Structure 1
Amino acid sequence: MTDGAATGGDDSSSSGRPSPLEPFRRFAALPGDVLVLSLAMFAFSLGFQTTGRYMPVYLEALGAGSLAVGLFKSVGDLISAVFPYPGGAVSDRIGSRSALTLFGLASTLGFLVWYAAGDLQGVAVGPTSLAVVLLFAGLFLSQAWKSFGLGATFAVVKQSVEPSRLAAGFAATETFRRTAFLLGPLLAAAVLAAYAFEAGFRVLLLVAAGAGLVGTVAQHVLYDASGDSIGKSFAGVETLREDLRRLPEPLRPLLVADTLVRFANGAVYAFFSLVVVNYFGVGVTLPVVGRLPPASFLGVLLAVEMAVALVTMAPVARLSERVGLKPVVAFGFAVYAVFPALLISAPTDGVDAALPLVGAVKLSAPAVLTVLFAFSGLRFAGLPAHKALIVGPAEAGSGGRVTGAYYLLRNVVVIPSGVIGGWLYGVRPALAFGVASAVGLVGVGYFLLRGKEFEPTG
Structure 2
Amino acid sequence: MATDDEAIGVGDQFRRFLALESDVLILSVAMFAFSLGFQMTGRYLPEYMAVLGATPFVIGLYGTFGNVISAVYPYPGGAFSDRVGSRYALALFGLLSTLGFAVWLAAPLIGTVEVAGLAVEPWLWIFVGLVLAQAWKSFGLGATFAIVKQSVSEDRLARGFAGTETFRRTAFLLGPLVASGLVFVGGGDLLPGFYYVLGIAVAFGAVATTVQHVRYDAGEDTFGAEFEGLARVARDLRALPDELRPLLVGDTLVRFANGMVYTFFVIVITRFLEVDVTLLGYYLSPTVFFGVLLGVEMVVALLVMAPAARIAETLGLKPVVALGFAVYAVFPALLIFAPDSPLAVALLFAFSGLRFAGLPSHKALIVGPAERDTGGRVTGAYYLVRNTLVVPSAALGGALWDFVSPEVAFTLATVVGLLGTGYFLAYGREFDAYA
TM band (smaller chain): over 0.9
Could you tell me how far 1:167 is from its partner in structure 2? 0.9
Aligned residues: 431
**Matched residue, 1:155:** 146
Contact persistence 1:390–1:403 (CA under 8 A): yes
Q: Amino acid of the residue matched to residue 145 of structure 2?
A: F
Contact persistence 1:73–1:418 (CA under 8 A): yes
**Matched residue, 2:125:** 134
Could you tell me how far 1:17 is from its partner in structure 2? 5.1
Q: Does 1:295 align with 2:287?
A: yes
**TM-score with structure 2 length normalisation?**
0.95
Percent identity reads 59
Structure 2: which 5+ runs fail to align?
Answer: none
Q: How far apart are the structure 2 equivalents of 1:408 and 1:303?
A: 30
Given the superposition, is the C-alpha separation of residues 268 and 87 from structure 1 closer, same or farther in structure 2, using an over 3 Å criterion?
Answer: same
SS of the aligned residue for 2:433 comes to: coil
- Of 251-260 and 122-131, more deviation after overlay is shown by 122-131
Given the superposition, is the C-alpha separation of residues 19 and 347 from structure 1 closer, same or farther in structure 2, using an over 3 Å criterion?
Answer: closer
Kindly provide the CA deviation profile for residues 298-342 of structure 1, in whole angstroms up to 9, marking residues without a partner as x.
Answer: 000001001000000111111111111111111110000000000
**Matched residue, 2:358:** 382
Among 248, 260, 264, the alignment partner of 1:271 is 264
Given the superposition, is the C-alpha separation of residues 211 and 231 from structure 1 closer, same or farther in structure 2, using an over 3 Å criterion?
Answer: farther
Q: How far apart are the structure 2 equivalents of 1:271 and 1:22?
A: 36
Could you tell me how far 1:34 is from its partner in structure 2? 1.8
SS of the aligned residue for 2:77 comes to: helix
Kindly provide the CA deviation profile for residues 86-136 of structure 1, in whole angstroms up to 9, marking residues without a partner as x.
Answer: 212332443321111111010000111011101233446678643122111
Contact persistence 2:401–2:409 (CA under 8 A): yes
Q: How far apart are the structure 1 equivalents of 2:134 and 2:208?
A: 15
**TM-score with structure 1 length normalisation?**
0.90
Given the superposition, is the C-alpha separation of residues 268 and 15 from structure 1 closer, same or farther in structure 2, using an over 3 Å criterion?
Answer: same
Q: How far apart are the structure 1 equivalents of 2:42 and 2:123?
A: 15
The ranges of structure 1 where at least 4 consecutive aligned residues each deviate by more than 6 angstroms after the TM superposition are: 125-128, 230-233
Could you tell me how far 1:234 is from its partner in structure 2? 4.6
Contact persistence 1:19–1:169 (CA under 8 A): no
Contact persistence 1:182–1:307 (CA under 8 A): yes
**Matched residue, 1:85:** 75
Q: Does 1:57 align with 2:57?
A: no
Contact persistence 1:309–1:378 (CA under 8 A): yes
SS of the aligned residue for 1:119 comes to: helix
Kindly provide the CA deviation profile for residues 45-79 of structure 1, in whole angstroms up to 9, marking residues without a partner as x.
Answer: 11000000001000111000111101111111111
Contact persistence 1:88–1:234 (CA under 8 A): no
Q: Does 1:108 align with 2:98?
A: yes
Could you tell me how far 1:166 is from its partner in structure 2? 1.1
Q: CA RMSD in A?
A: 1.8
Q: Does 1:425 align with 2:418?
A: no
Given the superposition, is the C-alpha separation of residues 22 and 127 from structure 1 closer, same or farther in structure 2, using an over 3 Å criterion?
Answer: farther
Q: Amino acid of the residue matched to residue 61 of structure 1?
A: V
Q: How far apart are the structure 1 equivalents of 2:120 and 2:352?
A: 35
Q: Amino acid of the residue matched to residue 411 of structure 2?
A: G
Given the superposition, is the C-alpha separation of residues 438 and 298 from structure 1 closer, same or farther in structure 2, using an over 3 Å criterion?
Answer: same
Q: How far apart are the structure 1 equivalents of 2:215 and 2:417?
A: 45
Contact persistence 1:20–1:173 (CA under 8 A): no
Contact persistence 1:96–1:231 (CA under 8 A): no
Among 364, 387, 397, the alignment partner of 2:373 is 397
Q: How far apart are the structure 2 equivalents of 1:230 and 1:51?
A: 34
**Matched residue, 2:253:** 260
